[in-house]
Chain A
Amino acid sequence: ETGVTQTPRHLVMGMTNKKSLKCEQHLGHNAMYWYKQSAKKPLELMFVYSLEERVENNSVPSRFSPECPNSSHLFLHLHTLQPEDSALYLCASSQDPIGSRWGRSGETQYFGPGTRLLVL
């Protein structure tokens, strides 16, 4: 669990607040991900960064804004959230060597402990 850390672990915010989630990976990876996990639903991929460039935005509302300043850090900025945004937000990292997207082997993603978000 110490390979990928997330802060805070728990967050309660009102719909008009602005907050940020932080993720840090200590595995030397170059790709990072944000997932949303809601009860009874599969993990939903939100954003993907590879080599600090956003390569996927999975139709996520603009009230979620990611930032990847370097390959070890990933942020998720939150503003004017809705109660239905309450969920467990998970960060993950993996190695994404150049050309692996077209290669034969999948790259394992390692997850952090998550931030439990409650929007009131």
Chain B
Amino acid sequence: EDQVTQSPEALRLQEGESSSLNCSYTVSGLRGLFWYRQDPGKGPEFLFTLYSAGEEKEKERLKATLTKKESFLHITAPKPEDSATYLCAVQEGYGGATNKLIFGTGTLLAVQP
């Protein structure tokens, strides 16, 4: 059964304290792994798509990496405005009937000034 597990569930950082969020996945053929940011009461905002192991993408203080079993979202010198829930999702490949995304439950990040 396809699964996505995110850890930790919640993370509290001081401003400037770098850390990483983890997304472990089990899927029969990966077409894509997606990271989203979600602020309270809003829809998920797209951050990155990773397609193959070894791929990395960066955007401001965020860097996403991918292996065959997991993805990391590294946050360097975070600021309070980085506080949000970060969602990971995978898209099954090779024979999947639709572009179905399987989501994890997210990591709630709080960055204190």
A interface vs B, CB < 8 Å? 1, 4, 6, 31, 40-43, 45, 48, 50, 55-56, 88, 90, 92, 94, 96, 100-114, 116
Contacts and interface: CB of A to CB of B under 8 A. Distances in A.
Interface residues of B, number: 31
Nearest to A114: B43
Contact of A104 (B4, B42, B45, B51): B51
A14 B59 CA distance: 44
Contacts of A6: 43
B100 A1 contact: no
Nearest to A115: B43
Contact of B99 (A41, A100, A112, A113): A100
B45 A101 contact: no
Contacts, number: 83
Given A50-B98, A96-B99, A111 B45 contact: yes
A40 B104 CA distance: 10
Interface of B: 4, 31-34, 36, 41-46, 49, 51, 87, 89, 91, 93-106
A105 B32 contact: yes
Interface centre among A92, A100, A104 (most CB of B within 10 A): A104
A54 B33 CA distance: 24
Nearest to B49: A108
Given A101-B97, A108-B32, 11 more contacts: A43-B89, A43-B101, A43-B103, A48-B99, A90-B44, A104-B51, A104-B93, A111-B36, A111-B43, A111-B45, A114-B41
B31 A104 contact: yes
Given A31-B99, A41-B105, A43-B87, A105 B43 contact: no
Given A40-B105, A41-B105, A101 B43 contact: no
Interface centre among B32, B33, B42, B89 (most CB of A within 10 A): B42
Nearest to B94: A102
A105 B44 CA distance: 21
